[in-house]
Structure 1
Amino acid sequence: MSKLIVSGVNVRQVLSMLLLLCCSWNPMVSGVAAQSLSMLRADGPTILDANNRPVVLRGINVGGWLLQESYILETDSLNSQWRIQQAMLRTMPEAAVEDFYRQYRANYITKADIDFIAKQGFNCVRLPFHYDLFLTAQQRRARTKALQNPKNVEGYVQALSTWYDQNQLFTDPKALDGFRIIDDVLNWCAANKLYVILDLHAAPGGQGADRNISDCLVPLDLWKRRDAKGRLIYQDLTVRLWEKLSARYKADARVAMYDLINEPNGMTTANGLTGNNSELNVLYSRLIDAVRKQGDQHLLMLEGNGYGNEYTNLSPDKLQSKDKRNLVYNAHRYWCPNDSQTGDPNPLQINLIHNLVAFRDQWKVPVWVGETGENSNEWFSAAVQELNARNIGWCHWTLKRVAGPTSLLRVPAYGSILTAEGRTALLRNSLFSNCTINKDVIAALTQPTVAQPFTTHTLPGTIQAADYDLGRNGTAYFDEYAARTDFTKHTPHNQGRAYRNDGVDIEAITDAASNGFAVGHTTAGEWLNYTVTIPKAGTFAVQARLVNTTKEPTKLSLKLDSKEVVTTITAASSDTWQTVSGGTVTLPAGKHILQLYVEQPGAVISWLQFTVPGKAAQGGQ
């Protein structure tokens, strides 16, 4: 944070910042979670509520709901929502496809999901939505014809142009799904004192070259497509849509801010654009003016080119709009370093924390991380700690994913969306009550500095190897590769891609004597901590369930409270699972940290078992 200068200082701003610094984030009372919602505004780099209290927005995106992204649904080969729909339309009538999407929107996010977000201590929800939800059924039918056949795209554009001229777009809030769903979310969130960020995630025409993000029929059409009158018609539609949204919500304090366009990308000279963001400047300035003309003073968030991060010609001094009030600048942080010393040589590229803080301090505007996630728990905790320390808000991507370890909720696999059985299963599995809570992800986001038990371990008993403590790398466990900080390198942090989201390599196994998961890819020097309770001191027989398919023997040791080795376990090479004895150990009563340490690599470890000699295992396999 920049130094405070006494001479000429804005006293109210300084007091606000000091108050914010003194209030560390309580995950159960996050920012405004215990306060009534009021309209937010910007005061220099700080967001304040109506009582001039600083507000740091920390929340969750509900991605994959009002715009399907292929990887969220495990339909990667289909690439985007319109291609999913295109594939479905080959075997289903259009009415059946529309009915499926009505059911999908009714099931995927409900009030139960919003209640859950609030209970974790977050104070806002970012709502990504598709512009087609603000079309009538007839208008959406014209878009469906265009996605079925590229030859129909021009006809769709001309239809939009006609509807635009006749003022037939976005005009009946009661009849349009988009307005109805926003109203529902606002009600659900207000009941939990959660702010909502309205995010135009798929803008008319498509704001980038990435189909999966913008669901564009033709890449970059927002910036390039002209109608028969020579107008950039998709930009006119975008302005019209925000005019209608603003007219409806301009006095609604439940809305924290408008995210005008999500993740512009591919705006390069190679793609026929200027390469200096001048197109973004023009449209953002139009949008700012259109919203302000409504008498709407909501916070307006701008997203730079390059997936929301690059602001050449978009800093406040460059914007064509004369009204610079209540602007917020965005960063989307994925697969990048979290230390505050690493910076980008381009000061207008602000996804790195060093640049983000410098941009905020230079231009005296609030900054906010609208998306962050898709990494390991270690990366999450490091990012959250650094951002929280600098009073920068953030929003985790995303609430739920199919078979997803990085989200708060894991939707069970459902098969194929192109079969009736698969669609039925998806509608059922995506309900909140049928999702699995990824408590390790939640702990990483809400308690990033705390190590705590993942589950209860009482000895005598069985400790599943994958049930090591929650916490950061080097505190709850140690793994040589625990977070991805280079977007060009795709090595997974969890080689097994199962169960949990740490650097620990957990894999699914079929051993009948196991709970279905094991820790593998072990390297010498790696370790796992388990908080154990021993009601009564005693001597215990130790066994481990493991397999060692390497040519060399593997060796594990057990330490108590990170001080002394209490026993070692060795196993020769074997192609099958084996239960190996670790001798006996004498352990004191009380709560302790038991550490499983890899002396020599090779073991894939399912569980450890502690029994009283001569007695059956308690809770064993």
Structure 2
Amino acid sequence: MDNCFHRVICIVVFVIVTVHTSGQGFLKANRKNIVNEKGQPVLLRSMGLGGWLLQEGYMFHLGNIGTQYRIRESIADVVGEERTKQFYEMWLTNHTTKADIDSLAAWGFNSIRLPLHYNLFTLPVEKEPVTGQQTWLEKGFAITDSVLNWCRSNEMYLILDMHATPGGQGNDLNISDRDAGKPSLWESEANRQKLIALWAQLAKRYANEPWIGGYDIINEPNWGFEDSTDKRGTKEKKNVPLRQLLVDVTNTIRAVDTKHLIIIEGNGFGNNYNGIFPLWDNNLVLSFHKYGNFNYKANIQNFLNFRDAYNIPVWLGESGENSNTWFTECISLVEENGIGWAWWPGKKMGINNPMEIKVPEGYDQLLNYWKGKGAKPDSATAWKTLQQLLSYVKVQNNIIHRDVLDAMFRQVQVNTTLPFTKHIIGKGTTLLPAVEFDLGKQGRAYYDKDSASYHFTPNVHTQGNRGYTFRNDGVDIQRNDAGMCVFSIEDGEWLQYTIQAKVAGKYQIGFKTAAENEAGELSLQVNEKWLVNNLTLPVTGNRLNYTTTWVKNIVLPAGETRLKILACKGGFNLQSIAFVKE
């Protein structure tokens, strides 16, 4: 992490901590706000630790397998049951550690949302030795204790999120590791009683722990109670079974714990609150989830109305999985309306989270076999790949995406830009990679016509970053045999770079580009003055066949200089910018 970025993040962390978590103690609902024991509003900025206690296939390029129990079966198929047990023990040990929580605290998060899988705490109903009784497993409680200790040492709140309920809470099987061949949470009284009993155990254990921020009772219910064809639960008008279970769990918790917030989620993945009101407890928080729609106030107005009508705090309990532009806009929207948030997830294989898990060697062979497109790897080869994955999930081996963190914190507060890294222009030839444009908002550090994905908005088909590599900004970045480049450049798009020239004077500047069919054109701005206009870029016949186009007599001052490269006519790839002192 370069020094200028680290200084800014530290400043942001200081502001967050002093403004929003000073005066510790139990969180509680005070009319429309979450407050601490001194009555000071607390804006929860949380990270959800997805993929750890509950694996979802998409996080590991296993979307075709989906649920954790099927991922486990697939691993056992290639390495055997004993090594599979060993794999999952090491997964729980390696994936998230104190170092992860320390890092998240340093980056600006003041709370953690911990997704729980019920099977780490108790047996499935069908495996109980005595029907109707509950067997308790120490593993889940011990892990939760550890995370609580890590949070406490960082003065962060820990929110317990029941992500996988007994039987599973919906038709989206992956988020709850649900086996559709068995009764769901809603089809089994035994499953419901197990969930209630588990919350009683958790509440009893943590009743007097102030760094537990709250209990998120059921993550993202998605079930058609009245209409079984309503697979997402978005059309349900009454939600009677959901409301009753929320009330029952609340009563069970309150029998042993009267201090902690209880967080409720509606049907339809947390957003359908039909029939859930009136409220039944004076220390509730209403959670909603937001993905892939426009960041307009109209798209959260329903929840603002609930807050006003029922005098209840509202929390964006889960969001993410988009571009940096979308992240900044979404967080700005909710914070401007006094709403905290929880992002999802902290790490996975992919660029749109703070931490990226690298893909192990040989992983493609496993994926191809599991997809039915390749031969089964031998056990030794598969085990070697899985062991490397166990190493790569550790935070010290993750790729840290500074651009994501900058978008989530600094860019929410200010419009200024920062260098992605230091670019010192000295003697000889200096190369500036095109992908190292400045950190900052869309329209400040760069402009891209398609900067975010709105996949849940009808008839809107944007993608954001089409290359899904290196950075999570709207700019399209591609990695191929020729290296990394900015590609899919459209007319009017631009990139800004901050450089440091050691010596003032005239420079030659070269633009390394490739264009398949038509010549592109670019213009160059230096410190807000256009010095090159409509420079023609040659057709190279192949997007991997690069050539450098030079311009002379470009005067650069000593010290910091900002360059803007504008695509007057797009259709070319830009790999690098070269500087040579004349």
TM-score (norm 1): 0.83
- State the one-letter code of the partner of 1:482: S
Seen in structure 2, the aligned counterparts of structure 1 residues 399 and 39 have a Cα distance that, compared at 3 Å, is: same
Are residue 471 (structure 1) and residue 433 (structure 2) matched? no
Partner of residue 548, structure 2: 579
**1:39 to 2:6 alignment:** no
Q: Which residue of 2 aligns with 1:105?
A: 92
Distance 1:611 1:163, change over 3 A: farther
Q: Could you list the per-position Cα deviations for residues 354-403 of structure 1 after superposition, in whole angstroms to 9, with x for gaps in the alignment? A: 2222221221101111111101100111111111112210011111111x
Amino acid at match of 1:542: I
User: For residue 565 of structure 2, what is the aligned residue in structure 1?
Assistant: 596
Aligned residue in 2 for 1:148 = none
Aligned equivalents of 2:336, 2:183: Cα separation in 1: 40
What is the CA distance between 1:504 and its match in structure 2?
Answer: 0.5
Question: Which of the numbers 158, 166, 172 marks the counterpart of 1:196?
Answer: 158
- Alpha-carbon shift at residue 485 of structure 1 (Å): 2.8
Contact 2:161 2:217 in 1 (8 A): yes
* CA shift in 2, pair 1:122/1:270, >3 Å: same
Output aligned runs, 1:115-130, within 5 Å: 115-130=102-117
CA deviation string 1:305-340 (max 9, x = no partner)? 11111100112x1x5xx4x11100001111111121
Distance apart, 1:169 and its partner CA? 2.2
1:549 to 492, 496, 516: 516
Q: 2:316 aligns with which of 358, 369, 377?
A: 369
Q: Could you give the per-residue CA deviations for residues 456-505 of structure 1, whole angstroms, max 9, x where no partner exists?
A: 12224221111111111111100101112341555421111111111111
Q: Does the 8 Å CA contact 1:246/1:296 hold for their aligned counterparts?
A: no
Alignment-mate amino acid for residue 377 of structure 1: N
- After superposition, residues 391-430 of structure 1 pair within 5 angstroms as 391-402=338-349, 404-414=350-360, 415=363, 416=366, 419-430=382-393
Alignment of 1:334-349 (within 5 A): 334-340=291-297, 342=298
Which stretches in structure 2 are left out of the alignment for 5+ residues? Answer: 1-10, 231-235, 371-381
| Cα 1:608–1:326 shift into 2, 3 Å | same
Query: What is the correspondence of 1:554-573 to structure 2 with a 5 Å cutoff?
Result: 554-566=520-532, 569-573=535-539
Q: What is the Cα deviation at residue 115 of structure 1?
A: 0.3
| Range with greater deviation from structure 2 (305-314 or 530-539) | 530-539
Deviation at 1:27, TM superposition (A): 3.5
User: 1:27–1:447: 8 Å Cα contact kept in structure 2?
Assistant: no
Shift of 1:211: 1.0
Q: Percent identity?
A: 33
Cα distance, 1:422 vs structure 2: 2.0
1:609 aligns with 2:578: yes
**Mapped partners of 2:506, 2:130: distance in 1:** 81
| Correspondence for 2:14 | 28
Answer yes or no: is the 8 Å Cα contact 2:237–2:275 preserved in 1: no
In structure 2, relative to structure 1, the CA distance for the partners of 1:168 and 1:235 (3 Å cut) is closer
Q: Distance in 1 between matches of 2:183 and 2:168?
A: 6
Q: Is 1:446 aligned to residue 409 of structure 2?
A: yes
Deviation at 1:296, TM superposition (A): 3.0
Work out which of the residue numbers 135, 145, 158 in structure 2 matches 1:169.
Answer: 135
Secondary structure of 1:427's partner?
helix
AA in 2 matched with 1:483: A
User: Aligned partners of 1:195 and 1:113: how far apart in 2?
Assistant: 15
Q: Is 1:291 matched up with 2:253? A: yes
1:522 shift after superposition? 0.6
**Aligned counterpart, 1:506:** 477
Kept in 2, the 8 Å contact 1:405–1:499? The answer is yes
Report how far residue 75 of structure 1 moved: 1.2
Does structure 2 retain, via aligned residues, the 8 Å contact 1:440–1:501? yes
Equivalent position of 2:193 in the other structure: 236
Distance in structure 2 (CA, Å) of the matches to 1:181 and 1:58: 22
Match of 1:279 in 2: 241
Counterpart of 2:342 in structure 1: which amino acid?
C
**1:31, CA displacement in angstroms?**
4.8
- Equivalent-residue separation in structure 1 for 2:190 and 2:494 (angstroms): 59
Alignment map for 1:513-552 (pairs within 5 Å): 516-550=483-517, 552=518
Residue 206, structure 1, aligned to residue 161, structure 2:
no
Taking the aligned partners of 1:219 and 1:523, their CA distance within structure 2 comes to 49
Contact kept, 8 Å, 1:209 with 1:219, in 2: the verdict is no
The CA RMSD over aligned residues, in Å, is 2.0
2:445 matched to 1:459? no
Shift of the alpha carbon at 1:34?
5.8
Q: Kindly tell me: are residues 277 and 34 of structure 1, through their superposed partners in 2, closer, same or farther at Cα, counting changes over 3 Å?
A: closer
How far 1:26 sits from its partner (Å)? Answer: 4.1
> Relative to 1, partners in 2 of residues 1:584 and 1:569: Cα closer, same or farther, differing over 3 Å?
farther
Q: Which residue of 2 aligns with 1:326?
A: 283
* Structure 1 contact 468–530 (Cα < 8 Å) conserved: yes
| Secondary structure of 1:365 counterpart | coil
Post-superposition CA distance 1:496-523 (Å, at most 9, x none): 1111111111100222xxxx31001111
- The 3-state SS of whatever aligns with 2:85 is helix
**SS of 1:302's equivalent?**
strand
Match of 1:348 in 2: none
2:5 matched residue in structure 1: none
User: One-letter code of the match for 1:362?
Assistant: A
TM-score (norm 2): 0.88
Task: Give the counterpart letter for 1:247 in structure 2.
Answer: K
User: 1:300 and 1:480 mapped to 2: Cα distance?
Assistant: 42
The letter of the residue matching 1:256 is G
Alpha-carbon distance between aligned partners in 2 of 1:356 and 1:452, rounded to the nearest angstrom: 35
- Say which SS state the counterpart of residue 14 (structure 2) adopts: coil
**Alignment partner of 1:30: what SS?**
helix
Distance 1:444 1:220 in 2: 42
Secondary structure of 2:322's match?
coil
Q: Secondary structure at the match of 1:531?
A: strand
